[in-house]
Copies of this chain bind each other. A is one copy, B any other.
């Protein structure tokens, strides 16, 4: 539902080809909306068909050649309209936390290492975001409103990584030993809300 608008935003910031978009989604835009190149190509086709974007004239249009797209006025209007459409937040999903809950019931041997692995990944991601912040958002870049909004988005990414680092650290210290709970045989009744 949101992917076409993510692409329009990215193309307004800078006209790009499909693969360039894919790479940009792995960075700035992708803090909060990831996409593979297959999704992006498919969506570019739809957007072009709808008249929201167009391919910039290329010297020799052919398969395997780079194709740059730019947003047309209709696409900009569509995006502007979407920004103001209310939409409820969707509950987040984490397979890791789910596995923790499962481990409470059936036990788990490798979960501790998995938690450490995730902790390392999130710490690395956090460090990367902080680098981006000092490089791209020095105090001088925090005055214009568009810049402040972009910075806000980055800070969302930063704080979310901090949340993970904090939770995973907590989880690891909570788990003293290296084998994790779970009842061997009898059914274990949980208490829920």
Residues on A lying within 8 angstroms of B by beta carbon are 1-2, 5-6, 8-9, 12-14, 24, 27-34, 76, 79-80, 82-84, 86-111, 114, 117-118, 121-122, 132, 135-136, 141, 144-150, 152-153, 155-156, 159-160, 163-164, 166-167, 170-171, 174, 180-183, 187-193
In the assembly, how many copies of this chain are there? 2
Task: Select A14's contact among B14, B90, B114, B190, beta carbons within 8 Å.
Answer: B190
Interchain CA distance A122-B140 in the complex, whole Å: 32
CB-CB under 8 A from A153, the residues of chain B are 97, 100-101, 104
User: Are A84 and B109 also in contact (CB < 8 A) when A132-B193, A190-B13, A193-B28 are?
Assistant: yes
In contact, A91 and B34 (Cβ under 8 angstroms)? yes
CB-CB under 8 A from A117, the residues of chain B are 86
In contact, A170 and B155 (Cβ under 8 angstroms)? yes
CB-CB under 8 A from A84, the residues of chain B are 108-111, 114
In contact, A149 and B33 (Cβ under 8 angstroms)? no
Q: Who on chain B is nearest to A88 by CB? A: B121
CB-CB under 8 A from A150, the residues of chain B are 101, 104, 190-191
CB distance from A97 to the nearest CB of B (A): 4
Interchain CA distance A102-B61 in the complex, whole Å: 30
In contact, A104 and B167 (Cβ under 8 angstroms)? no
Task: Select A146's contact among B12, B159, B188, beta carbons within 8 Å.
Answer: B188
CB-CB under 8 A from A141, the residues of chain B are 191
Task: Select A79's contact among B5, B88, B102, beta carbons within 8 Å.
Answer: B102
CB-CB under 8 A from A159, the residues of chain B are 163, 166-167
CB distance from A54 to the nearest CB of B (A): 14
User: Are A98 and B145 also in contact (CB < 8 A) when A104-B150, A190-B13 are?
Assistant: no
Interchain CA distance A121-B141 in the complex, whole Å: 32
CB-CB under 8 A from A89, the residues of chain B are 94, 96, 118, 121-122, 164
